[in-house]
Structure 1
Amino acid sequence: MTPNGYLIFEDDSFLDSTVAKMNALRKSGQFCDVRLQVCGHELMAHRAVLACCSPYLFEVFNGDSEPVGGVSLVKFDDLTPEAVEILLNYAYTAQLKADTSLVRDVYSAAKKLKMERVKQICGDYLLSKMDSQSAIPYRDFASSMGDGRLLGKIDGYIQEHLLELSEQEHFLKLPRLKLEVVLEDNLTLPSNGKLYSKVINWVQRSLWESGEPLERLMEEVQTLYYSADHKLHDGNLLEGQVQPSEGLGCGGVDDEHIQFVQKKAPRESVQRQTSNSSNGSLSPGSTGQHFRHEWKYIASEKTSSNTYLCLAVLNGVLCVVFLHGRASPHCSPYATPCLTKSLSLENQLSQGAEKEDRLEERLLTRMHYARSGLGTAELNGRLIAAGGYNREECLRTVECYDPKKDCWTFIAPMRTPRARFQMAVLMGQLYVMGGSNGHSDELSCGETYDPRADEWTQVPELRTNRCNAGVCALNNKLFVVGGSDPCGQKGLKNCDAFDPVAKTWNNCAPLNIRRHQAAACELDGFMYVIGGAESWNCLNSVERYNPENNTWTLVAPMNVARRGAAVTVHNGKLFVVGGFDGTHALHCVEVYDPARNEWKMLGSMTSARSNAGVAVLGGVVCAVGGFDGNDFLNTVEAYESLSNEWSPCGEAFKQED
Structure 2
Amino acid sequence: MHNNQAYTEFGTKNIGPHKWWHHRWAKIIFISFIVLTILAVTLSLVLKFAVFRPKKSEITTTTTTPPLTTTAPTSLASSSTIPTTTTQQSRWAYTGNMNYEREDHTACVLIDEKVLVAGGRNDAGSLNTVELYDPSTGFWTMTGSMNIARAEHAASILTNGKVLVTGGENDIGDILNSTELYDPSTATWTMTSSMNTARKEHTASVLTNGKILVTGGYNGTDYIKSVELYDPLTDTWTYTSDMNYQRAGYIQSVLTNGKVLVAGGLDDTHLNSAELYNPLTQTWTITNNMTHARWTPTASVLTNEKVLVAGGLTDDYVYNAELYDPSTETWTTTGSMNISREDHTASILINGDVLVAGGFSGGYLTASAELYHPSTETWITAGEMNIGRFGHTATVLINGKVLVAGGSNGGILNSTELYESFQIN
TM-score band, normalised by the shorter chain?
A: 0.5 to 0.7
Aligned to 2:334: 601
Aligned to 1:645: 380
Deviation at 1:447, TM superposition (A): 2.3
SS in 2 for 1:644: strand
Aligned to 1:484: 218
Measure the CA separation in 1 of the matches of 2:118 and 2:364. Answer: 19
Contact 2:157 2:163 in 1 (8 A): yes
Aligned to 2:106: 375
Deviation at 1:645, TM superposition (A): 2.5
Aligned to 1:565: 297
Contact 1:575 1:592 in 2 (8 A): yes
Deviation at 1:552, TM superposition (A): 0.4
Give the counterpart of 2:229 among 497, 513, 517: 497
SS in 1 for 2:301: strand
Give the counterpart of 1:431 among 158, 164, 168: 164
Contact 1:577 1:587 in 2 (8 A): yes
Deviation at 1:514, TM superposition (A): 1.2
Kindly indicate whether residue 422 of structure 2 is the aligned counterpart of residue 654 of structure 1.
yes
* CA distance 1:450–1:606, shift in 2 (3 Å): farther
* CA distance 1:595–1:578, shift in 2 (3 Å): same
Aligned to 2:350: 618
Contact 1:618 1:653 in 2 (8 A): no
Per-residue CA deviations over 1:474-501 (Å, capped at 9, x if unaligned) read: 12111111111342xx321211001111
Contact 2:90 2:421 in 1 (8 A): no
Deviation at 1:563, TM superposition (A): 2.0
Give the number of the structure whose residues are more often helix, by fraction. 1
* CA distance 1:370–1:621, shift in 2 (3 Å): farther
Measure the CA separation in 2 of the matches of 1:567 and 1:408. Answer: 30
Deviation at 1:528, TM superposition (A): 1.6
Aligned to 1:420: 152
Aligned to 1:252: none
Matches of residues 215-364 of structure 1 in structure 2 within 5 Å?
361-364=90-93
Measure the CA separation in 2 of the matches of 1:461 and 1:562. Answer: 31
Measure the CA separation in 2 of the matches of 1:538 and 1:564. Answer: 10
The one-letter code sitting in structure 2 at the alignment partner of 1:363 is W
The one-letter code sitting in structure 2 at the alignment partner of 1:468 is E
Measure the CA separation in 1 of the matches of 2:124 and 2:238. Answer: 36
The one-letter code sitting in structure 1 at the alignment partner of 2:158 is L
Matches of residues 435-454 of structure 1 in structure 2 within 5 Å?
435-437=168-170, 439-454=172-187
Aligned to 1:517: 249
Contact 1:364 1:636 in 2 (8 A): no
SS in 2 for 1:363: strand
The one-letter code sitting in structure 2 at the alignment partner of 1:412 is T
The one-letter code sitting in structure 1 at the alignment partner of 2:283 is T
Contact 1:542 1:556 in 2 (8 A): yes
Deviation at 1:372, TM superposition (A): 4.8
SS in 2 for 1:591: strand
Per-residue CA deviations over 1:279-299 (Å, capped at 9, x if unaligned) read: xxxxxxxxxxxxxxxxxxxxx
Per-residue CA deviations over 1:105-148 (Å, capped at 9, x if unaligned) read: xxxxxxxxxxxxxxxxxxxxxxxxxxxxxxxxxxxxxxxxxxxx
What count of residue pairs does the alignment treat as equivalent?
Answer: 291
Deviation at 1:606, TM superposition (A): 5.7
The one-letter code sitting in structure 2 at the alignment partner of 1:442 is I
Per-residue CA deviations over 1:16-57 (Å, capped at 9, x if unaligned) read: xxxxxxxxxxxxxxxxxxxxxxxxxxxxxxxxxxxxxxxxxx
Aligned to 1:471: 204
TM-score (norm 2): 0.58
* CA distance 1:417–1:467, shift in 2 (3 Å): same
Aligned to 1:507: 239
Per-residue CA deviations over 1:166-205 (Å, capped at 9, x if unaligned) read: xxxxxxxxxxxxxxxxxxxxxxxxxxxxxxxxxxxxxxxx
Measure the CA separation in 1 of the matches of 2:107 and 2:340. Answer: 18
Aligned to 2:308: 575
Q: Which runs of 5+ in 2 are unaligned?
A: 1-87, 385-400, 402-418
Per-residue CA deviations over 1:42-83 (Å, capped at 9, x if unaligned) read: xxxxxxxxxxxxxxxxxxxxxxxxxxxxxxxxxxxxxxxxxx
Kindly indicate whether residue 188 of structure 2 is the aligned counterpart of residue 459 of structure 1.
no
Measure the CA separation in 2 of the matches of 1:407 and 1:635. Answer: 23
Measure the CA separation in 2 of the matches of 1:583 and 1:569. Answer: 25
Measure the CA separation in 1 of the matches of 2:245 and 2:116. Answer: 30
Deviation at 1:506, TM superposition (A): 0.7
Deviation at 1:613, TM superposition (A): 4.1
Give the counterpart of 1:543 among 275, 285, 293: 275
Considering Cα pairs closer than 8 Å and 6+ residues apart, tell me whether 1 or 2 has the greater RCO: 2
Deviation at 1:517, TM superposition (A): 2.0
Contact 2:89 2:382 in 1 (8 A): no
* CA distance 1:646–1:438, shift in 2 (3 Å): farther
Deviation at 1:399, TM superposition (A): 6.2
The one-letter code sitting in structure 2 at the alignment partner of 1:505 is W
Deviation at 1:442, TM superposition (A): 0.9
SS in 1 for 2:422: helix
SS in 2 for 1:362: strand
Q: Which runs of 5+ in 1 are unaligned?
A: 1-358
Aligned to 2:262: 529
Measure the CA separation in 2 of the matches of 1:565 and 1:453. Answer: 36
Contact 1:562 1:582 in 2 (8 A): no
Contact 2:368 2:382 in 1 (8 A): no
Contact 2:179 2:194 in 1 (8 A): yes
TM-score (norm 1): 0.39
CA RMSD of aligned residues (A): 3.7
Aligned to 1:68: none
SS in 1 for 2:92: coil
Measure the CA separation in 2 of the matches of 1:372 and 1:484. Answer: 18
Matches of residues 34-53 of structure 1 in structure 2 within 5 Å?
none
Measure the CA separation in 2 of the matches of 1:398 and 1:530. Answer: 31
The one-letter code sitting in structure 1 at the alignment partner of 2:380 is E
The one-letter code sitting in structure 2 at the alignment partner of 1:550 is Q
Deviation at 1:439, TM superposition (A): 2.5
* CA distance 1:486–1:569, shift in 2 (3 Å): same
Contact 2:302 2:374 in 1 (8 A): no
Contact 2:178 2:193 in 1 (8 A): yes
Deviation at 1:522, TM superposition (A): 1.1
Contact 1:377 1:615 in 2 (8 A): no
Measure the CA separation in 2 of the matches of 1:634 and 1:411. Answer: 28
Measure the CA separation in 2 of the matches of 1:578 and 1:414. Answer: 34
Deviation at 1:527, TM superposition (A): 1.4
Measure the CA separation in 1 of the matches of 2:132 and 2:340. Answer: 21
Contact 1:537 1:582 in 2 (8 A): no
* CA distance 1:593–1:454, shift in 2 (3 Å): farther
* CA distance 1:400–1:579, shift in 2 (3 Å): farther
